[in-house]
Amino acid sequence: MAREYIWEVPVRVTHWVNVITILALSITGLYIGDPFAQGADEHSMLMGKMRFIHFLCAYIFIASLIVRVYWWFVGNKYARLDQFIPVSGERWKNLIDTALFYGFMKKDLPHSPGHTGLAGLTYFFLMILFVFEIMTGFALYSQSHAGGAIWTLLGGWMLPVLGQGMIRFLHHIIMWLIIVFVIIHVYISVHNQLIEKNGLVWSIFNGYKNFQDSHHH
Ligand code: HEM
Ligand code: HEM
């Protein structure tokens, strides 16, 4: 067994900050859209608190994404942008071989110390979904927050184009798409760890993966 350090601190921290804030954003968002609980009395301001948590987590989530995008350019080779957008022949081959593996058409996963080609590209599409969620979020935000041009720029311009009903709908749909991603993502992570015995799930906590020596170079 060879142990290799793959995920640097910012990759791991942003991962878990995203997990926690997305969980809080989904719970508070569902409440905002369809209040499922009542405050103890008329002074409890439950909706106000939910909205406050939603907006606070939105800002933390955005900050985390900015840090992670910065790390595309300064991080180690497993964290860089070219691990997400396949530009080299090697990454394309890895992507296709991974897809064939998941389609039961290939026996082994290609050796990928960092993200597989398929995982990287999936995370890139996920990041695009995050950006749309943020833009539709700021479109809704611009309705209730003074500040003018900045909220218009970040998403408010979509209000007259799509209408607020469509924007709420998109904000919901993207949440559900993210939730579908998470279910599959957690399933694959746990499944790969059990099959490959590579410590994959631990890697996103401690940074290290284990490889059979025959693969290591
Ligand atoms: C809201 C929930 C989650 C989201 C949005 C999410 C998203 C992501 C993203 C974007 C990456 C790429 C990391 C990077 O390079 O920056 C990643 C990696 C990873 N995540 Fe998650 N994740 C979530 C929850 C979880 C959970 C609960 C687990 C635990 C089983 C997990 C396990 C992993 C592992 C093991 C990796 C590295 C896998 C690889 O090499 O591709 N994730 N996740
Ligand atoms: C993963 C991230 C997010 C999820 C899952 C999420 C989810 C939701 C949901 C389900 C709603 C209810 C929509 C409705 O029926 O009116 C909502 C409302 C809202 N969200 Fe998000 N949201 C996220 C990120 C954001 C971000 C980044 C912002 C940016 C500021 C934001 C701002 C808002 C606003 C302003 C509302 C409407 C609040 C109101 O009408 O009082 N959200 N969100």
In tens, the pLDDT along 89-103 reads 999 999 999 999 989
Question: What's the confidence (pLDDT) of residue 195?
Answer: 84
Contact 166, 135 (CB under 8 A): no
How far is ligand 1, taken at its centre, from the CA of residue 73, in Å? 19
Question: Pairing mode, if any, of strands 208-211 and 2-5?
Answer: antiparallel
Q: Which among 199, 157, 147, 202 is positioned nearest to 2, based on CA atoms? A: 199
Tokens 């311009």 label which residue?
A: 157
Ligand 2 neighbourhood includes 168 CB (under 6 angstroms): yes
pLDDT band at 1 (very low <50, low <70, confident <90, very high): confident
Mean pLDDT of 183-212: 92
pLDDT tens across 46-61, in order? 999 999 999 999 999 9
Question: What's the confidence (pLDDT) of residue 42?
Answer: 83
pLDDT band at 68 (very low <50, low <70, confident <90, very high): very high
Give the number of domains in the chain: 1
pLDDT at 163 over 80: yes
Residue 163, domain CATH: 1.20.950.20
Q: Show the tokens assigned to 50.
A: 């939910």
Residue of 18, 54, 179 best suited for mutating to test ligand 2, as the one with most atoms within 8 Å of CB: 54
Contact 123, 84 (CB under 8 A): yes
pTM: 0.93
pLDDT tens across 96-126, in order? 999 999 899 998 888 889 999 999 999 999 9
For residues 121 and 181, give the distance between their C-alpha atoms in angstroms, rounded to a whole number. 13
For residues 211 and 213, give the distance between their C-alpha atoms in angstroms, rounded to a whole number. 6
Percentage of the chain exceeding pLDDT 70: 98
Mean pLDDT of 143-159: 91
Structural domain of 69: 2-215
Mean pLDDT of 48-75: 98
Ligand 2 atom with the shortest distance to the CA of 179: 5
pLDDT band at 214 (very low <50, low <70, confident <90, very high): low
| SS3 category, 6 | coil
pLDDT at 132 over 50: yes
